[in-house]
Amino acid sequence: MDGCRSANNALVAAYNRIDQCFEQLQVWADSMVQTRRQVLELLQSDAGSELIVNGIALDGTVYWPAAGIVYALRRAARELAVDGWASVVEASKWIAEQEPEQQPAKYRCRSWRQVVQSYD
């Protein structure tokens, strides 16, 4: 009988531990579903697009390595380069034609020179 009681107590303890772990897993799963929903909402929003495409965070700060305007400048430089150099003035004209939404004001800059200095 002592062995049976001991085995029963061990099984009850194991069941309780399994139940606790299952509850924790359920909390984590619910959290993952909620996080997934929030990420999807962000990705489908204008703010999410600004963050991913243009590198502009919700607070307006710019992550320059991911900024759309930097990508546009690089494209313009590849298209317009002569002996490895491209004019910022010519690049800005090219960008105005090719990617008109990529302008300094969008990134809180007053000029193309400020954009170049901000990234540098």
What percent of the chain lies above the pLDDT cut of 70? Answer: 99
Instruction: Answer yes or no: are the C-beta atoms of 77 and 67 closer than 8 Å.
Output: no
Q: Cα(115)–Cα(120) distance, rounded to whole angstroms? A: 9
At 106, the amino acid letter reads K
User: What are the residues facing 85 on neighbouring strands?
Assistant: 82
Check residue 43 and give its pLDDT: 85
User: Cα angle at 103 between 100 and 109, to 5 degrees?
Assistant: 175
* Residue predicted with more confidence, 119 or 86: 86
Chain segment 20-58, per-residue pLDDT in tens: 999 999 999 999 999 999 999 988 999 898 998 899 998
pLDDT, average across residues 75-91: 93
Please, which pLDDT band fits residue 120 given cuts at 50, 70 and 90?
A: low
Check residue 31 and give its pLDDT: 97
Check residue 91 and give its pLDDT: 95
Check residue 4 and give its pLDDT: 92
- Considering all CA atoms of the chain, what is the largest pairwise distance in Å, rounded to the nearest integer? 93
